[in-house]
Structure 1
Amino acid sequence: MQKIMIFSNMYPTQKHPTYGIFVKNQVELLRSKGLDVEIIAITDPAKGKIANLKKYLIWFMRSMMHMLGDNRRTTLTHAHYAFPTGVLSLIGKKLFRLPYVVTVHGGDIDKMAAKNEKIRSATKKILQGADAVIVVGERLKKDIVEGFGVDQGRVHVMSMGVDTEVFKPMPKSEARQELDIPESEKTLLFVGNMIEAKGVLDLVDAFKVIQEKYPDAKLHMIGSDKDEAFMRIFAKRLLDNDVRIIHHLPMPQKEIAKWIAAADVFVLPSHHEGFGLVALEAMSVGTPVVGTDVGGLSYLLAEGAGILVEPKNPQSLAEGIVQALSESGENRSSVMQSTAASHSYDVISKRLMKIYEEIEKTRKKKS
């Protein structure tokens, strides 16, 4: 295999360490396996029409220059997110006959493709033109096959994988001591962007119920607060409920793993979720997970791996958290560890490299 060129509209930097961290982790994983990987990505999470137009235009031109100058050495391209990223891979196939892989993460189907018919049509062309489509959850596979007419033989269900060297069991007492969390505290943890779609308003409403039963409970929320308009709504909801939370800005994954280990319950109340990688990371650490019965979470937390609750239902969410707090911490341990092991980096890298190799073999046969 010669070279893999990866396109992504999200990629972390020191300034924005969690912006598309899952893509960076996969890139580094592939490089560790000896692959020559080039990443061309957007690293600036800035929003706004002008900012978006500028960064996407620069990214598009950079990507085209890379394909123009290096298409002979490149084996295939791999786009993260169908639209708009997949447009680059589609162009690469038409102009330079470069085969491509697309990883669908969820939002590109649930939200982006639903914006208008033009985007949906472009998404369909990208998916149908791909040599392989990777989806991060079973429900997404169904959407891709039935909604976009993609041959199911080219659709592979595969998560981005969990780094079990970072997200691994750690004694709760040790984690709490390092983070200065009292042993007696009932600690709830949320990790994700502070946006409505992640169900954070539902979590605030549910936490008010939790505090009535557990007065010493604390809710820690780790995530970006870039959406100022929503944060004003969030602050008002806190005030209306007379609820206080502890908000932490994004932090390195090793620190997040420590916070997960210190928590009694990890909560992910999303309104939609392609897979729910952060829930898998919590399971790998060994912390019970309460999540909404949506998207990939419906499969990930099934069969006793976690506690599923109704989406957009604070009462159901509160009941799920109470259930998790009242259970023995060992009840779900073996199922959680088994699930995490099936998504380990070693397993994921072997499956991904096999997909690449099959595409390369097919290309050689045609040439």
Structure 2
Amino acid sequence: MHKIAVFSNMYPSEKHPTFGIFVKNQVELLQSRGLDVDVRAIDNPSKGKVNALKKYFFWFVKSIGYMMKNKSQISLTHAHYAFPTGYLSLIGKRFFGLPYVVTVHGGDIDKMAAKNERIAKMTRKILQQASAVIVVGERLKRNVIEQFGVAEEHVHTMSMGVDTTIFQPISKEEVRHELHIPQTDKLILFVGNMIEAKGVLDLVDAFKIVKQSYTDASLHLIGSEKDERFMQTFAARVQLDDVHISHHAPMPQKEVAKWIAAADVFVLPSHHEGFGLVALEAMATGTTVVGSNVGGLSFLLNDGAGILVEAKDPESISNGIVQALTDISGDRQGKMVRKVSEHTYDVIADRLLTIYKTVSKGRQTDE
């Protein structure tokens, strides 16, 4: 196998260290296994029509030029997100004979493909022309097969994996001392983008209910401010309610892992979720997860590995948080360990390499 070209419309930079961090982690995992991986990605999350057009245009032009120049050295391309990223891989196949793998993360199916029929048709073409389609959750697998007509034998369910050298059990007492968190606090934590679709306002309302029974409870939210108008709504809601809520800017994964380990409950009240990798990372630290019964979370937290609640329902979310605070049975810990073991980096790397070898054999045969 020669070079692997990875395309992504999300990738971290020094200025935006958490933007698409899961893609960077997978790239580094592949490189640690000895693969020659080149990345062509957008590392600027800035919005606005003009900014988006400029950054996508230059990214497409440079990526196509890269494939043209290096086509003889590239074994395959791997696109993260079906559209628009997968369109680059489709061009690579049509014009340069490069087979490709595409990873579907959720938003590219739930939101992007639902925007209009043109994007839906392009998404269908991208997925059907791929040598392999990786989906991060079981529900996405059904969608890709049933809605987009992809042959089941080409679809692989596989998360991005959890780095258990970073996300692992840590002494709650020690890490709270390091983070200056009172030992007696009931710490409830959220990590994710500060947007409505992540259920942030639902969590604030749920926390108000929890606070009535647990006066020592605190809610901490770690995440990027993606929408200025939403943040104004969030700030007004928190100020008006006068509750113990703190928002923190994005931080390195090692610091996030400490906060998760320090928490009593990790909550992910998303309205939709392809997989919910951060929930898996929380499970790896041993912290109980409360999550919406949507998408990949429905599978990740089932069978008692976590606590499933109804999305957009503050009362249901609050009940889940209270259950997590009161139910400390060791049964759940064992189930979390088993779930995490299915998604370790070693497991993911082995499966990904198997897919790559199969796809690249087709390239060698064509040559």
Common topology (TM > 0.5): yes
Please state whether the residue corresponding to 2:330 is helix, strand or coil: coil
Match of 2:336 in 1: 336
The answer to whether 1:221 aligns with 2:232 is no
Whichever residue aligns with residue 262 of structure 1, its letter is: A
CA contact (8 A) 2:195 2:226 kept: no
Q: What does the per-residue CA deviation read over 1:123-160, in whole Å, with 9 as the maximum and x for residues that have no partner?
A: 00000000000000000000000000000100000000
Match of 2:238 in 1: 238
Identity of aligned residues (%): 64
Deviating runs (4+, > 2 A) in structure 1? Answer: 239-244, 362-367
CA contact (8 A) 1:187 1:217 kept: yes
CA contact (8 A) 1:93 1:100 kept: yes
Whichever residue aligns with residue 349 of structure 1, its letter is: A
Summarize the alignment of residues 249-264 of structure 1 with structure 2, pairs less than 5 Å apart: 249-264=249-264
| TM superposition shift of 1:331 | 3.6
Match of 2:363 in 1: 363
Q: What does the per-residue CA deviation read over 1:35-81, in whole Å, with 9 as the maximum and x for residues that have no partner?
A: 00000000001000011011111111110111011010000000000
CA contact (8 A) 1:83 1:123 kept: yes
Q: What does the per-residue CA deviation read over 1:278-315, in whole Å, with 9 as the maximum and x for residues that have no partner?
A: 00000001000000000000000001110000010000
The answer to whether 1:159 aligns with 2:151 is no
Q: Supply the distance in 1 between the matched residues of 2:222 and 2:330 (Cα, whole angstroms).
A: 25
| TM superposition shift of 1:227 | 1.1
Summarize the alignment of residues 319-330 of structure 1 with structure 2, pairs less than 5 Å apart: 319-328=319-328, 330=330
**Which runs of 5 or more structure 1 residues have no equivalent in the other structure?**
none
Match of 2:277 in 1: 277
Distance 1:129 1:207, change over 3 A: same
The answer to whether 1:194 aligns with 2:194 is yes
* Greater Cα offset, 323-332 or 263-272: 323-332
| TM superposition shift of 1:162 | 0.2
Match of 1:108 in 2: 108
* Greater Cα offset, 323-332 or 251-260: 323-332
CA contact (8 A) 1:260 1:285 kept: yes
Summarize the alignment of residues 294-333 of structure 1 with structure 2, pairs less than 5 Å apart: 294-328=294-328, 330-333=330-333
Q: Supply the distance in 1 between the matched residues of 2:364 and 2:102 (Cα, whole angstroms).
A: 20
| TM superposition shift of 1:240 | 3.7
TM-score norm. by structure 1 comes to 0.99
* RMSD of aligned Cα (Å): 0.9
Q: Supply the distance in 2 between the matched residues of 1:108 and 1:336 (Cα, whole angstroms).
A: 28
Distance 1:329 1:191, change over 3 A: farther
| TM superposition shift of 1:329 | 6.0
CA contact (8 A) 1:137 1:296 kept: yes
* Greater Cα offset, 236-245 or 288-297: 236-245
TM-score norm. by structure 2 comes to 0.99
Match of 1:150 in 2: 150
Please state whether the residue corresponding to 1:272 is helix, strand or coil: coil
Please state whether the residue corresponding to 1:133 is helix, strand or coil: strand
CA contact (8 A) 1:204 1:243 kept: no
Match of 1:60 in 2: 60
**Which runs of 5 or more structure 2 residues have no equivalent in the other structure?**
none
Please state whether the residue corresponding to 1:102 is helix, strand or coil: strand
Please state whether the residue corresponding to 1:166 is helix, strand or coil: coil
Aligned residue pair count? 367
CA contact (8 A) 1:292 1:311 kept: yes
